[in-house]
């Protein structure tokens, strides 16, 4: 087995790999090799580098399709496995740029042993560290599987994403089938949860990766809608949009207040904002990304409830709500829910209920929280005098405000819009303080858990 090692590299001196220069702070990086100085041919289709982005370390795997179709062979898979382990040990994020034909067919079926080890290895890495994936050309076979492990998934438009290439595809479906139309990243993004953002060029991907890691908005990014910008101004100094191609009435952003960054889920102001399967999927993806970035999360809520249409039921909206609840309960870096408009029915999960382990739940003055819109409930009980009497009594006892929810401890308070910035600041400051009575797990025990941020308090596992 080759002894792997690090060698200094100037990217512009190595053909294809010079295209990575806009991603890094500098063109001089370290290359991970099989123990020999870096060369394009010896890289065997996979350049593996360590550099800095905004002063932060980033590991990069770039597929060079002109060398063996950037296919996963035995030696290249072993080197990639060692690289992933090295990045995991140093808690360094990885950006995986994919343009590959999949496993190397010319090495025969024994190639699967080495190549398929990458699936659990990269999955284990992603359970503890940030993984960013991107499609820059045809992404086939094993490449498509590994791509789906990313917390932030980008794709350059006009590329293909599929388990098989065009030749095999046409063997099964005939010459008349339009392979690009059937497997294009645009279609995949529309019909699946994969591919969070579509961008026109590789340079746009690099700009988005830099913005995600540094928190500095990309100067060329599309401006946010004015109403959303006004809402964000009430709690943040600036924000970087993430998961941008998934827009079901909710926005996911990495925001900043002062020197502190936080994840932000916000509604699109002025819309009904019924919570759909796509919206729930976006929330789950955002929580997954924010967890790996170790960010506290603020959710601004304004929704009339879960979309009741049959199409949503057929797509298992109830199961998606269960999965969302699990994602909320699993987040360990702080949750603040703020109802800024409406929070009706099961969609009120977005307010991060205290019973799910959130830090605080607040509501702006004038916000409405209920089982569903009171007008709908009134119509439902109108046919029964007894039920109508009971409902009227409940409405009267609740009063015009949210005092009953505060008194019951369901929400922590009602604040003015002007007080939202201060509430977020207090939340972020509290999360920045070390917890009292916390004993870190010994290193030998950390591997027992999926997330090695687990801490033990005096009472047991936190």
Can you give the pLDDT of all 462 residues of the chain as single tens digits?
Answer: 458 899 999 999 998 999 999 999 998 999 999 999 999 999 999 999 999 999 999 999 999 999 999 999 999 999 999 999 999 999 999 999 999 999 999 999 999 999 999 999 999 999 999 999 999 999 999 999 999 999 999 999 999 999 988 888 878 888 778 888 889 999 999 999 899 999 999 999 999 999 999 988 887 788 888 989 999 999 999 999 999 877 777 899 999 999 999 999 998 877 888 889 999 999 999 999 999 999 999 999 999 888 889 999 999 999 999 999 999 999 999 999 999 999 988 888 999 999 999 999 999 999 999 887 778 888 888 888 888 888 888 888 887 788 889 999 999 999 999 999 999 999 999 998 543 333 333 333 223 223 333 332 333 333
Cβ-based neighbour number of residue 27 at 10 Å: 15
Contact status, residue 163 vs residue 184, Cβ threshold 8 Å: no
CA–CA gap between residue 155 and residue 189 (Å, rounded): 9
Question: Which pLDDT does position 2 carry in this prediction?
Answer: 58
Closest CA to 64 of 115, 113, 14: 14
Tell whether 335 and 432 lie within a shared domain: yes
Tell whether 201 and 232 lie within a shared domain: no
CA–CA gap between residue 311 and residue 367 (Å, rounded): 29
Q: How many CA atoms lie within 13 A of 45 on its CB side?
A: 21
Tell whether 14 and 133 lie within a shared domain: yes
Domain count along the chain = 2
Angle ∠(41,47,49) on CA atoms, nearest 5: 135
Tell whether 132 and 267 lie within a shared domain: no
Tell whether 127 and 231 lie within a shared domain: no
Q: What is the CATH number of the domain that holds 89?
A: 3.90.226.10
Tell whether 160 and 281 lie within a shared domain: no
Tell whether 105 and 189 lie within a shared domain: yes
Residues of the chain by 3-state class (helix, strand, coil), percent to 5 = 40, 25, 35
Question: Do strands 260-267 and 297-303 pair parallel, antiparallel, or not at all (unpaired)?
Answer: parallel
Tell whether 326 and 278 lie within a shared domain: yes
Q: Which tokens is 48 given?
A: 């593996």
304 within domain boundaries? yes
pTM for the model: 0.87
Residues whose CB falls within 8 Å of the CB of residue 291, separated by 6 or more in sequence, listed in order: 330, 331, 332, 333, 451
457 within domain boundaries? no
462 within domain boundaries? no
Write the DSSP string, 171-202: HHH-TTS-HHHHHBHHHHHHHSS---EEESSH
Tell whether 49 and 167 lie within a shared domain: yes
CA–CA gap between residue 138 and residue 141 (Å, rounded): 10
353 within domain boundaries? yes
**160 is in which domain, residue-wise?**
5-208
């Amino acid at each position: 087995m080759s002894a792997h090692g690090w060698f200094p590299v100037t990217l512009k001196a190595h053909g294809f790999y010079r295209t990575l220069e806009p991603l890094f702070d500098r063109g001089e990086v370290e290359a991970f090799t099989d123990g020999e100085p870096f060369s394009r041919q010896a890289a065997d289709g996979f350049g593996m580098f360590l550099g800095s982005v905004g002063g932060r370390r980033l590991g990069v795997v770039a597929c060079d399709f002109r060398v063996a179709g950037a296919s996963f062979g035995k030696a290249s898979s072993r080197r990639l496995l060692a690289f992933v382990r090295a990045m995991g040990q140093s808690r360094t994020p990885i950006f995986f740029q994919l343009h590959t034909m999949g496993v190397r067919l010319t090495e025969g079926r024994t190639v699967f042993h080495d190549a398929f080890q990458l699936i659990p290895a990269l999955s284990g890495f992603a359970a503890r560290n940030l993984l960013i994936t991107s499609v820059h050309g045809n992404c086939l076979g094993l490449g498509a599987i590994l791509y789906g492990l990313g917390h932030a998934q980008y794709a350059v438009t006009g590329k293909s994403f599929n388990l098989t290439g065009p030749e095999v595809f046409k063997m099964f479906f005939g010459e008349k089938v339009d392979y690009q139309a059937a497997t294009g990243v645009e279609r995949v993004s529309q019909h699946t949860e994969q591919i969070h953002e579509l961008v026109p060029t590789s340079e746009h991907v690099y700009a988005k990766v830099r913005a995600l890691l540094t928190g500095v908005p990309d100067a060329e990014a599309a401006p946010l809608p004015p109403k959303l910008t006004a809402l964000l101004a009430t709690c943040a100094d600036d924000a970087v949009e993430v998961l941008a191609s998934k827009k079901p009435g909710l926005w996911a952003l990495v925001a900043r207040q002062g020197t502190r960054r936080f994840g932000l889920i916000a509604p699109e102001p002025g819309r009904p904002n019924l919570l759909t399967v796509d919206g729930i999927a976006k929330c789950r993806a955002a929580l997954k990304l924010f967890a790996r970035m170790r960010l506290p999360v603020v959710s601004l809520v304004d929704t009339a409830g879960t979309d009741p249409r049959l199409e949503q039921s057929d797509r298992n909206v109830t199961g998606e709500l269960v999965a969302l609840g699990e994602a909320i309960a699993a987040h360990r870096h702080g949750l603040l829910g703020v109802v800024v408009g409406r929070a009706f029915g099961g969609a009120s999960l977005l307010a991060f209920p205290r019973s799910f382990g959130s830090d605080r739940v607040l509501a702006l003055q004038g916000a409405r929280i209920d089982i569903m819109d009171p007008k709908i409930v009134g119509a439902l009980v109108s046919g029964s005098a007894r039920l109508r009497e009971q409902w009227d009594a409940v409405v009267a006892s609740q009063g015009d405000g949210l005092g009953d929810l505060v008194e019951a401890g369901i929400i922590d308070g009602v604040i003015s819009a002007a007080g939202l910035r201060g509430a977020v600041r207090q939340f972020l400051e509290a999360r920045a303080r070390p917890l009292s009575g916390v004993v870190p797990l010994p290193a030998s025990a950390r591997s027992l858990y999926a997330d090695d941020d687990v801490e033990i308090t005096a009472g047991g596992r936190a």
